[in-house]
Structure 1
Amino acid sequence: MMQQSMQQLDIFADSRDVMLRNDVLDALQRRDAVEARQAWQKLVDDFPDNETLAGLATLIGVLEGDSATPFADHRALATACRHLGDAVEPAARRLLGDAAGQAWTASCWRAVAQQAAALPFRAEERDHHAAPLWLRAGDWGEARRAVERIESWRRIPAPLAWMAEARYRADGLESALPLLTELAWLSSVRLADLLHRFADTSIDTLRKKFDATFDGAGQVSDLVWLPAWVLTEKPGLATLLREAQPSRQTAPERAVRLLLQILSLERQGNQHELVERRKALRDLHAGLYAAYLKTR
C-alpha cells in the first residue's frame, strides 16, 4: 500500500512538472513575456532542477528585450544575430519542436531586421545587413526591398545572392535563374552555398551531372562554368539566361554569350557564322566545347 501511494505521488509530481512547463510554453507561443516569466518562476520554485529552465529563460529573455530601438552599429547587430543563431533558435526548436520553433524564431529575426533597417551595407560587414535577416524571417518582399537599397547590388556577390534567394523563394527557379547565372560569374562559393540551401531537385540533378562530367578542376571554382554547361544540356533555358546582365567579361561569361549565339545561329541555319562561333567556343574551353558536341 505504501509503495502504491509513493508511485501515485511520483506520477502527480511528474504531471505537475509537465503542466507548469506547458504553461510557460503556452505563454511563449502567445509571446506574452509577463505571463511566461510568472509561469517560469512557478516552475523554478517547484522544480529548480528541471532541465528545461535554462532554455525557457533564454526564450523569455528575447520577449523581455528591447526589440524596437534601432541598432547603433554593425557590432550590435552582429551580437544580436549571434545570440539568436547560437542560443535562441536551438532552444526554440528543442522546446517547441522544429516547425513551431522555426516559426517562433522567424518573428525574432523579423524584429532584428527592423532594428537593422537603417544600417548601410558594408563589404567588411557583408553578412550583417537587414536583407539576410528578412530572408531568415521568411519575408521575401522585404528582403528584396532591402537589397534594392544597396547601391550597385547586382555587382556585389552578397546582395546578389540575397536577391537571387528572395526571387527563388517567392517566384521559383525561373525568376532567379538570371541572377544565379551572374552569381556564378562573381562568386562560385556563394553560388554553391545557395544551391545547397535551396535543395532543389532539378538543380541538384544538373549539379550532380555537371560535377561528374565537366572537364574542370573538380573544385567549387568549376561552378563559374555551370551556366554555360547548362546551356549544352538545357538549351531551352536560353531565353532566361539572356536576361543575365553583363558582368566582368570573364571567360565563363563569354562562353555563355557564345553559346547563346550558337543556339540562335543553329535555328537560323547560318553555317558560316556557326562554324566561327563553334571554333571560338573550342578555343575558349575545350571541355565545354566537347560537352556541347555530345548533344549534337
Structure 2
Amino acid sequence: MQLDIFADSRDVMLRNDVVDALHRRDAVSARQALKRLAGEFPDDDTLAGLATLIDVLDSDVATSFADHPALAAACGHLNDEVEPAARRLLGDAPGRAWAASCWRTVAQQAAALPFRADVSDLHAAPLWLRAGDWGEARRAVERIESWRRIPAPLTWMAAARYRADGLESALPLLTELAWLSPGRLADLLHRLADASIDTLRRKFDANFEGAGQTADLAWFPAWVLIEKPGLAPLLREAQPSRQTAPERATRLLLQILSLERQGNQHELVERRKALRDLHAGLYAAYMKTR
C-alpha cells in the first residue's frame, strides 16, 4: 500500500519510493530514497517515522540478546515506536504484517534466553505469537520446564493452540488457566475475541453469584459445564492443577454429569451435596437446569 496512489506530486512520489523499498525490506534503497525526500522536503512529517523503519532493517539481526534487559529494550522500541510507525506509514494491515517480521527477528534473537519468573513476559514464546508463528511459539513454550504449571507459558500455549487449531484444542488449557490465573485468562480472552466464548463470558458475568471480580473467572469452567454440558469431554482433558475449590467444583460436575448418564442415584446425591458445600450459588445454578 502506498501513501497516496492517486497523487502525482513530487513529495508523494518520493515518499512512495521509500515505502516501496520498505515493503521489499531493502534498507539500502529505502535510505537512498529517504535522502532524496529529505533533501527536497526537509520539513516532511513522515521523515522521522520512515527513518525509524529503515533503522530496523539496518539493525544487526545476527546477534543474540545478551540478557533480559536488552530484550526488554528491543521489545519496547518495537512496540512503542516501530509498529505504530509502520501502521501509520504503510497502512494498518500492511503495517502489522511488516512489523510481524520484526517480531520474528527479535524472537530469533531471544531464543537462547531462559524463562525467568521475575520477568515472565521477556521470552521468545510471546514474541513468536506477535510474529504470528504458532508452531515456533509452541516449541518455545515446550522448552520451559513445567510450563503447564506456570501462568505465563500456559497462557502462551493456550493462545498458540487457539490460533493454530481453534477453540476445541485450546479449551483444556484455557480451563487450567482459569484455575491457575483468572487475571491472565481474562486478558487472553479479550485478545482472542472468540464469539462463542465471549457470549458465555457475558452470561457468566451477569448470572454467576461471585464477588464481581476477575477472580470469579476461576469458576468459569465449572459454570460452563452447567451451561454447555456437551463440552465435558474437552474439559475432562484438563490436567490436575492446585486442587483449588473452583477446580474441585469442575471435577465434581464432570463426575455428576457421568453419574446422571449412569443413573447412579446414591453417588449422584453425594456429589451434589459436595458441590453445594463448595459453592451454593453454583449448585443452585446447576439445580435450575434439572
User: Is 1:58 the counterpart of 2:52 in the alignment?
Assistant: yes
1:1-296 equivalences under 5 Å are: 15-296=9-290
Secondary structure at the counterpart of residue 172 of structure 2: helix
Secondary structure at the counterpart of residue 218 of structure 1: coil
Cα deviation per residue 1:201-220 (whole Å; 9 max; x = unaligned)?
Answer: 10010000000000000010
Shift of 1:41: 0.4
Cα deviation per residue 1:213-235 (whole Å; 9 max; x = unaligned)?
Answer: 00000010100000000000000
**2:63, 2:226 → 1: CA distance?**
52
Q: Which residue pairs with 1:8 in the alignment?
A: none
Equivalent AA in structure 2 for residue 36 of structure 1: A
**1:117, 1:70 → 2: CA distance?**
8
Q: Which residue pairs with 1:10 in the alignment?
A: none
Shift of 1:98: 0.8
Shift of 1:14: 7.1
Equivalent AA in structure 1 for residue 129 of structure 2: L
Cα deviation per residue 1:88-144 (whole Å; 9 max; x = unaligned)?
Answer: 000000001111000000000000000000000000110000000000000000000
Normalized against structure 1, the TM-score is what? 0.95
Cα deviation per residue 1:52-89 (whole Å; 9 max; x = unaligned)?
Answer: 00100000000011111100000100000000000000
* Number of residue pairs aligned between Structure 1 and Structure 2: 284
Secondary structure at the counterpart of residue 158 of structure 1: helix
**1:220, 1:211 → 2: CA distance?**
10
Alpha-carbon RMSD across the aligned residues, in angstroms, is 0.9
Q: Give the 4+ runs in structure 1 shifted more than 2 A.
A: none
Q: Which residue pairs with 1:4 in the alignment?
A: none
Equivalent AA in structure 2 for residue 44 of structure 1: A
**1:68, 1:113 → 2: CA distance?**
12
Q: Which residue pairs with 1:6 in the alignment?
A: none
Q: Which runs of 5+ in 1 are unaligned?
A: 1-12
Cα deviation per residue 1:239-286 (whole Å; 9 max; x = unaligned)?
Answer: 000100000001000001100000000000001110110010001000
The percent of aligned pairs where both chains have the same amino acid is 84
